[in-house]
Structure 1
Amino acid sequence: MFETIQGEGVFTGVPSVFVRLQECPVGCAWCDTKQTWEAEPEQERPLNEILVKTEDSPTWCSVTADEIVEQYRKSGFNAKHIVITGGEPCIYDLKPLSAAFEAIGCQCQIETSGTSEVRTSDATWVTVSPKVAMKGKLPVLDSAMIRANEIKHPVATQKDIDHLDALLDKANVGENTIIALQPISQKSRATQLCIDTCIERNWRLSIQTHKYLSIA
């Protein structure tokens, strides 16, 4: 759990506290948090050791929703925007955690691949970043696409946009859902493709500003 600036999507620029959960079965080739994929028993540590981590590692801890919120309060964070991410956060029931944060005046956002059922409070902002044809071979769920407030799709080539079109056609996403394209790894060709497509379709462009700024 750490405080920073949200670097991508609708809430770009908003001070945020990130709560990064362990484990992910999706297997994205370009993932920049592969240390979260597994929760090996020998890597479990007490909460106080996890909170002071200064670099990526596969160590993790087991805590309750109330313990996470209590630690947020003790840490003296200023940000009221809570980003629950991973790993794949939706492998867990997030209703207790989102409700606990909302009870102290925070707003929650979930960043999910859409491959697990979204279980959270009604007020939670759900960002689905659909992952198609990944190593884990998990389907993107129609229910996740329909629940999404924002669909933020990673793009490397035209094939990725074609995959998104198929998902949007199948899930019948609501007209108020925000659609954004996000170039993978700041590649110039992917960035131009996203720009051209967003202008053509009146979608949004999501740039990973935290990577350009070299912040967490």
Structure 2
Amino acid sequence: MYKVNEVFETIQGEGSFTGAAAIFIRLQGCPVGCSWCDTKHTWDIKDELAMPLGDIVIKTAETEHWAQVTAAELLARFIQEGYQAKHVVITGGEPCMYDLNPLCELLHQNGYSTQIETSGTFTIKAPAQTWVTVSPKVNMAGGYKVLQSALDRANEIKHPVAMEKHVDELLQLLQHTDTKAKLIYLQPISQQRRATELAIAMCKKHNWRLSVQVHKYLGIS
């Protein structure tokens, strides 16, 4: 069973799948505690805010409401809603609080590709063909450590930056990580001009890539 805060179809606005049509599943629950998080409504799981999946799909505003559903129920909802995208992004909250194997395997069996967006602070339970985006969260309020196993599993590492210390944190994380087959992105926090300029400069210096949250520039979900 998965606690789902949102299900919607849009385009992926970050990382290597930028511009791809995608179905987003946003799961409820996250103890990591990022101060600049833009989905704080997904942090807490309050039993009294449970609601049917049908009501979750038609939500028009960010709320703490969630639905408890199975992988099969999610797949059926995709079909019922007429979603055409074949790439599914599982995000949160912190999606790796859940065992994502059953959901991803069912989606793969039905012609979908899957991607997980995680902080890297929980063990990743997903099939080998699932694309894993680790956005490492260092020294956050929840006190969770970024796991080396998550960095090793990542297909791409997408690090949020606002100041030089965030670049230093990434360099330290990468010391023991084989990055030859990985894509490394810097993502300016909140599209701040100073953060964007820093990210561009560091991408040039280290031959990394820039992720600019295209969906926020376009003003879409």
User: Shared fold (TM-score greater than 0.5)?
Assistant: yes
Query: Is residue 209 of structure 1 aligned with residue 200 of structure 2?
Result: no
CA distance in 1, matches of 2:183, 2:214: 19
Query: Is residue 193 of structure 1 aligned with residue 217 of structure 2?
Result: no
What is the letter of the counterpart of residue 209 of structure 2?
R
Cα distance, 1:71 vs structure 2: 0.9
Partner of 2:13: 7
Q: Deviations over 1:64-115 (max 9, x none)?
A: 1111111112111010010000000000000000001111101000000000
CA distance in 2, matches of 1:77, 1:47: 15
What is the letter of the counterpart of residue 142 of structure 2?
G
Q: 1:157 aligns with which of 163, 172, 191?
A: 163
Cα distance, 1:173 vs structure 2: 2.7
> What pairs up with 1:48-59 in 2 under 5 angstroms?
48-59=54-65
Which consecutive unaligned segments of at least 5 residues does structure 2 have?
Answer: 1-6
Partner of 2:129: 123
Q: 1:37 aligns with which of 40, 43, 46?
A: 43
Partner of 1:74: 80
TM-score by length of 2: 0.96
Q: 1:176 aligns with which of 165, 178, 181?
A: 181
CA distance in 2, matches of 1:70, 1:98: 14
Partner of 2:3: none
CA distance in 2, matches of 1:158, 1:101: 39
Query: Which structure has more strand as a fraction of its residues?
Result: 2
- Runs of 4+ aligned residues of structure 1 deviating over 4 Å after TM superposition are none
What is the letter of the counterpart of residue 177 of structure 1?
K
Partner of 1:89: 95
CA distance in 1, matches of 2:158, 2:73: 30
What is the letter of the counterpart of residue 211 of structure 2?
S
Cα distance, 1:174 vs structure 2: 3.6
CA distance in 1, matches of 2:70, 2:123: 20
CA distance in 2, matches of 1:49, 1:14: 26
What is the letter of the counterpart of residue 39 of structure 2?
T
Cα distance, 1:136 vs structure 2: 0.5
Q: Deviations over 1:169-209 (max 9, x none)?
A: 13x23411000000001111111111011011110000011
Which consecutive unaligned segments of at least 5 residues does structure 1 have?
Answer: none
Q: Helix, strand or coil for the counterpart of 2:24?
A: strand
